[in-house]
Amino acid sequence: MQTEHDIPEKGPAGIHPDDSVPVRRIVSGIQPSGRLHLGNYMGALKNWIDLQTRYEAFFFIADWHALTTNYEDTTPIRENIIEMLVDWLSLGLDPEKCTIFLQSDVLEHAELNLLLSMVTPVSWLERNPSYKDQQTQIAGRDLSTFGFLGYPVLMSADILLYRADHVPVGLDQLPHLELAREIARRLRHFYGPVVPEPLPLLTPTPRLLGLDGRKMSKSYKNCIYVADSSPEVWEKIRPMVTDPARVRRTDPGNPEKCPVFNLHQSFSPPDVIKEVDKGCRTAGIGCIDCKKVLVGHIETILQPAREKRQELSARKGYLKEVLAEGAAKASVEARQTIRDVRRAMRLPDGSLFE
């Protein structure tokens, strides 16, 4: 699949510096399925914060998507939405620079989902690899629902609704994005050009390991959360397994076999990475020293976010306002697309009897 890495800088008026290339638009979302961990931060949010000044950006909390797998007990979703918003804002996503909103506040997502579902063959959905994966991985939940099968149609609606040029996502989301492109082409085939085909903007992140050396993931309970306190972060990192062959302080270690080093590679500056690599291989530093250095660099990101989080948590009115303003801005674009799609599909509108 074609991807796009050559990004123009956004000029002062939201226009490319040479003034002839309009700023391109991106859209992306995250499900409010729990608090943000460092893997989510590295895999999505850090990138979004960087992109918000270079693109016209729409970021949303995908609460309807959360229902596809959590439809039985929906109680945590409300709380998770607030947590997620606070996580985003405290880390530096800025409502002055991008549009931040809640999916279910913009009903056009549902209308476009319905219209797209009419032209989407079920076979396209059944062959989606994450559909099959999740069916087997999420045990103990009945995922043989219409909504779960239609997950990528709703995601396509999220993207096409904003006529996005690019979608910043991780590798795991590429099959979904391919489907959004196929649906855009199918619309064009039946009704003429309506919405552009979005391109992925792959997030350049190495896979972040968790406390036990497996991929950092909420379901493995091996996460460091963005909202963890300073002592919590240390209490998680201190007992982490390192290179199993490095038994004594005097044994040289192999950083490639060490999940602590994996975290250094994402959070420490290049000279520190080089230093701990050498220190480990020569037994120049011990594992505890190495972990202390790592915590210091993680804290440079988390400490300012913690202060902001505390301040934001007390400002419920402001949070409400951020989502309300975001939904208003998103709705303008969403309504325009719905008008265009309805017209292209020759659906009844105000002019039916004219």
Please report, as ranges, the residues that interact with ligand TRP according to CB under 6 A. Answer: 27-31, 62, 65, 155, 158-159, 167, 169, 173, 176
CB 104 within 8 A of CB 127: no
**Residue 62 or 195: which CB sits closer to ligand TRP?**
62
CB 225 to ligand TRP: min, Å:
17
Residue 25 bridge partners (DSSP): 56
Structure tokens at 220: 């493995």
CB 204 to ligand TRP: min, Å:
17
Residues 136, 140, 145, 150, CA torsion sign: negative
**Residue 220 or 318: which CB sits closer to ligand TRP?**
220
Closest by CA to 98, choosing from 55, 62, 63, is 55
Q: Which residues contact 132 (CB under 8 A, 6 or more apart)?
A: none
CB 299 to ligand TRP: min, Å:
27
**Residue 170 or 210: which CB sits closer to ligand TRP?**
170
CB 27 to ligand TRP: min, Å:
6
**Residue 128 or 313: which CB sits closer to ligand TRP?**
128
Residue 81, by phi and psi: left (phi above 0), alpha (psi -120 to 50) or beta? alpha
C-alpha 304/C-alpha 125 separation (Å) is: 43
**Residue 62 or 98: which CB sits closer to ligand TRP?**
62
CB 29 to ligand TRP: min, Å:
4
**Residue 62 or 298: which CB sits closer to ligand TRP?**
62
CB 165 to ligand TRP: min, Å:
13
**Residue 165 or 243: which CB sits closer to ligand TRP?**
165
For tokens 């074609």, the residue is: 2
CB 176 to ligand TRP: min, Å:
6
